[in-house]
Amino acid sequence: MFEGNKCPYCGKEFISSDDIVVCPECGTPHHRSCYKEHNACANEAKHGSYVWQSDLLKSNNTDNSSIQNNTDSHENQDVVICNVCGNANKKNSKYCSKCGNLLSENSFHNNDDIKVIEVQQISADAKIDGIPIRDWLVYLGPTSIQHIRTFIKQNNNKSKLGFSLGAFFFPVLFYLYYKVWDIALLVLLIDIICNLPTIMLQLNYPIASLLGISAARFTTIANILSYAYLVIILLLSLFSKTIVRKKASKRIKDIRRSCTNEADYSALLLKNACPNKIVVGSILILYILSFLFLLFN
């Protein structure tokens, strides 16, 4: 979303892998490390009247030649050109596949008469669940834009579905990453209950005899529990982003109510932003150690 723009502190251009935090007051993007180092927005002195605008958007407002060329090169295709980055998107696309900006509903498809395609950026002041998007960007951290797109689609389609591959393959890590502690604990318990019998079989532990049942029956039970785990995790993953949305919305609103001014709110929001690296890192190490233990036993 911010690729091609520069961090106001270090002057380096943002790339897709950068960890970016957005000032909740004016929308200025910074490297998270730069923001934390200075503990303030680079444009703090301008707050009250200043609203950050993309460097790419500024350049496009004064010079549309690159977009003109891009459009000309796609004269025989039905595409939508992003006015922010000039990328050619497929017909009926809602979001630019390169920079992530929202293509306006009244954007034109290229033809002989129309050469400049207008778009509408996702406004940082627009709200989801009563919370400005700029605050969602700060709280959800590096993966915020993917969630925001899902939230917008949910509102447009009046849907609660919000699937995440991460929630399916690494459910405990996913919910810990977004500080959804209760669901993470629930998933961990389900994981232990459903997969422990299979682990016992792999380790040749005589659990069946200890329980007084046949090995064949215990194997059947273990298989049923393993399949049950997959079904439960799949169902949860279908609504995983919705779960994150509800938990994050409540947390952001609680932070807002606990603060009396914008400065305190901005600082506390950033302090509580995702992810919790210590917790996620610790669980990831445990996963790796568990995998290695099973691999060599």
Which CATH architecture fits 1-52? 2-Layer Sandwich (3.30)
Mean pLDDT of the region 140-145: 84
Which of the pair, 224 or 149, is modelled with greater confidence? 224
What is the amino acid identity at position 155? N
Structure-derived torsion over alpha carbons of residues 156, 157, 161, 167, reported in degrees to the nearest 10? -40
Answer yes or no: are the C-beta atoms of 2 and 28 closer than 8 Å.
no
Percent of the chain's residues with pLDDT above 70: 74
Q: pLDDT tens digits, residue range 166-195?
A: 999 989 989 999 999 999 999 999 999 999
Q: What whole-number distance in Å separates Cα of residue 260 and Cα of residue 247?
A: 22
Q: pLDDT tens digits, residue range 10-47?
A: 988 888 778 888 887 778 888 888 888 888 888 888 88
Prediction pTM value = 0.58
Q: Read off the DSSP letter of residue 103.
A: P
Looking at the chain, the domain(s) classified CATH 3.30.40 span 1-52
Q: What whole-number distance in Å separates Cα of residue 174 and Cα of residue 268?
A: 23
Of 74-88, 115-129, 151-165, 195-209, the one with minimum mean pLDDT is: 115-129
- The packing angle between helices 240-258 and 215-238, to 10°, is 60
